[in-house]
């Protein structure tokens, strides 16, 4: 399982609780889209996850920025994932970011608003914030492999699933067009 988090905005500890903590501990891979704030929080997240890949965000201190890139590309179960914290230009900017990297899925943070959007060329996912939702639902994303790509869900820390979605792998997307 791939678990995606963002915008922890903690001062100490990982700020994970409930299903979010459980999912991070169970995951094959955890992706974090930035804004840990301090290395203490980053280190706590690293200890909670077997494997963590992350980017830094605008609220991260200099030490976090030195340890993490501003963007990265990874592959999970045949799906290419491009990760950034924030992209100017809204959805169009995120789509361009993804296209430039050959991504099937673009993960971003910053808004604290959990959201999934499938466009013609790339899927956009913001997992929201598990700890500082700022008027939105607290959330993280969980994704699992299928024959066509990934099946995903947005989940609150109390375990409530409030949205399900699918991310087609490149070959499956080409078949849709």
- What is the mean predicted confidence (pLDDT) over 60-71? 98
- What is the mean predicted confidence (pLDDT) over 102-116? 97
Question: How many of the other CB atoms lie within 10 Å of CB of 53?
Answer: 18
pLDDT at 45: 96
pLDDT at 40: 97
Single pTM value for the model: 0.95
Q: Does residue 131 register a pLDDT over 50?
A: yes
Q: Does residue 174 register a pLDDT over 70?
A: no
Edge-to-edge order in the sheet of strand 161-168:
52-54, 29-32, 2-5, 140-145, 149-155, 161-168
Mean pLDDT of the chain: 95
Q: Quick one: 131 exposed, middle or buried, by C-beta within 10 A (0-12, 13-18, 19+)?
A: buried
Fold of 2-176: Purple Acid Phosphatase; chain A, domain 2 (3.60.21)
The rounded distance, in Å, linking the Cα atoms of 139 and 163 is 11
- Domain borders along the chain are 2-176
Percent of the chain at pLDDT above 90?
A: 93
pLDDT (tens digit per residue) in 73-107: 999 999 999 999 998 899 999 999 999 999 999 99
Q: Does residue 129 register a pLDDT over 50?
A: yes
pLDDT at 81: 98
- What is the mean predicted confidence (pLDDT) over 22-39? 98
- What is the mean predicted confidence (pLDDT) over 169-175? 58
Beta strands in the chain (DSSP E): 2-5, 29-32, 52-54, 71-76, 79-84, 105-107, 115-118, 123-126, 140-145, 149-155, 161-168
pLDDT at 177: 41
pLDDT at 172: 54
The rounded distance, in Å, linking the Cα atoms of 79 and 18 is 28
pLDDT at 88: 87
Residues 150 and 77 sit within 8 Å (Cβ to Cβ): yes
pLDDT at 87: 83
């Amino acid at each position: 399982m791939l678990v995606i988090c963002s915008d922890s905005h903690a001062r100490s500890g990982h700020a994970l609780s409930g299903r979010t903590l459980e999912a991070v501990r169970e995951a094959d891979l955890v992706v974090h889209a930035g804004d840990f704030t301090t290395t203490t929080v980053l280190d706590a997240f690293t200890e909670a996850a077997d494997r963590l890949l992350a980017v830094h965000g605008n609220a991260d201190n200099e030490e976090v920025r030195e340890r993490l890139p501003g963007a990265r590309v990874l592959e999970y179960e045949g799906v290419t994932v491009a990760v950034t914290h924030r992209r100017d230009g809204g959805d169009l900017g995120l789509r361009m970011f993804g296209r430039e990297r050959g991504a099937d899925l673009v993960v971003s943070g910053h808004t604290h608003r959990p959201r999934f959007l499938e466009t013609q060329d790339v899927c956009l996912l913001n997992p929201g914030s598990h700890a500082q939702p700022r008027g939105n639902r607290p959330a993280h994303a969980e994704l699992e492999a299928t024959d066509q790509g990934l099946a995903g869900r947005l989940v609150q820390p109390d375990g409530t699933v409030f949205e399900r979605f699918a991310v087609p792998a490149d070959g499956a997307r080409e078949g849709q067009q």
